[in-house]
Amino acid sequence: MITTEVLLAFLAASALVTIAPGPDNLMVLSVGISRGREAGIGFGLGCALGCFVHTLWAALGIGAVVMASEGTFTVLKMAGATYLVYIGVMAWRHAGASTLVRLDEGKAEPITAHLRRGFIANVINPKVALFFIAFLPQFVDPARGAVWAQMVLLGALFAAQTVLIFGGLGWFAGGIGARLQRQPGLAVWLDRCAGAIFIALALHLATAGR
- What are 16-57's pLDDT values in tens digits? 988 887 888 888 988 888 888 888 899 999 999 998 888 888
Distance separating alpha carbons of residues 152 and 55, to the nearest angstrom: 6
Residue 138 has pLDDT above 50, yes or no: yes
Confidence tier at 12 by pLDDT (50, 70, 90): very high
Confidence tier at 119 by pLDDT (50, 70, 90): very high
Confidence tier at 183 by pLDDT (50, 70, 90): low
- What are 192-208's pLDDT values in tens digits? 777 788 888 788 778 87
Structurally, the chain folds into a number of domains equal to 1
199 within some domain: no
49 within some domain: yes
For residue 31, give its domain range: 23-69+95-190
- For helices 126-135 and 37-60, give the axis angle rounded to 10 degrees: 60
140 within some domain: yes
Q: Residue 20 has what DSSP assignment? A: S
4 within some domain: no
Residue 142 has pLDDT above 60, yes or no: yes
SS (H, E, C) 23-42: HHHHHHHHHHHHHCHHHHHH
- What are 148-158's pLDDT values in tens digits? 888 888 988 99
207 within some domain: no
Which residues, 6+ apart, have CB-to-CB distance to 84 below 8 Å? 121, 198, 199, 201, 202, 205
6 within some domain: no
Distance separating alpha carbons of residues 116 and 94, to the nearest angstrom: 19
200 within some domain: no
